[in-house]
Amino acid sequence: MKPDFDINYMMQTFPLLGKYAYLTVSLAVISMIIGLIIALILVAISTYNVKILSPLSKIYISFFRGTPLLVQLFLLYYGLPQIFPVFKSMNAYTATIIGLSMNSSAYMVETLRGAISSIDKGQMEAALSIGMSHWQGMKRIVLPQAARVAIPSLGNTFVDLLKSSSLAFTLGVAEILAQAQMSAAASYKFFENYLAVALIYWLIVIFFSYIQRMLENKMSHAYK
């Protein structure tokens, strides 16, 4: 019996699904940027032990690390509008970005904190001894070195964001997986559609992994 696999159909599906790849990439890129900003703020709050904000940041990190991402997305998109009517105007794309950003920031906090801690404290002391402020020492000396240490872990976080963006279809965002699901339901060619989706995600991850390696090599060049 010949296997029921239509490779020609799958090849025709690639360009149709590929048109929606920009949604997946934009979700990951925007969420990564916002999440990184939130993580930096949380690291600053933790480093300077800001009253009231410090324990709140610990609760924030614990919640987003300790609950499933899908539940967080449902709470944002379906739950919040019931309590706060202002959120009723929030669309699924925006809710997904907010959810991915907040979730990823909770993990990036530990990455950034560990990277900053890996820098010899003597370098900050040297910066202070020549008249720099603590912020200047962080910006000019500590953070550039910490960035080199953090890039591999941040790259892994970005890859996780790319894959987690597939959950956007549960909120109604018409990204790659949602399109494949509709196409599969219409044609009954589930394997071909989902295999095409898997290969598209794989190619996107390979592309960004290559960029990550180039960035790592460039930032590590001075240390070789």
pLDDT digits (tens, 9 = 90+) for 204-224: 999 999 998 888 888 776 666
Whether the per-residue pLDDT at 88 is higher than 80: the answer is yes
Q: Classify residue 203: in a domain, yes or no.
A: yes
Whether the per-residue pLDDT at 4 is higher than 90: the answer is no
Whether the per-residue pLDDT at 2 is higher than 50: the answer is no
Task: Choose between 207 and 4: higher pLDDT.
Answer: 207
Q: Classify residue 2: in a domain, yes or no.
A: no
Whether the per-residue pLDDT at 203 is higher than 80: the answer is yes
- pLDDT at position 224: 60
CB atoms within 10 A of CB 201: 19
Q: Classify residue 32: in a domain, yes or no.
A: yes
Q: Classify residue 134: in a domain, yes or no.
A: yes
State the average pLDDT over residues 9-34: 89
Whether the per-residue pLDDT at 59 is higher than 50: the answer is yes
Q: Classify residue 10: in a domain, yes or no.
A: no
- pLDDT at position 223: 61
CA 88 from chain center: how many Å? 25
Q: Classify residue 125: in a domain, yes or no.
A: yes
Instruction: Give the domain extent around 47.
Output: 16-223
Whether the per-residue pLDDT at 199 is higher than 50: the answer is yes
Q: Classify residue 180: in a domain, yes or no.
A: yes
Tally of domains within the chain:
1
155 burial type by CB count under 10 A (0-12 exposed, 13-18 middle, 19+ buried): middle
State the average pLDDT over residues 164-177: 86
Q: Classify residue 71: in a domain, yes or no.
A: yes
- pLDDT at position 1: 41
Percent share of the chain, pLDDT over 70:
97
Please state, rounded to an integer, the average pLDDT across all residues of the chain.
87
State the average pLDDT over residues 103-112: 93
pTM here? 0.87
pLDDT in tens, 110-121: 899 888 888 888
- pLDDT at position 222: 60
CATH number, domain with residue 76: 1.10.3720.10
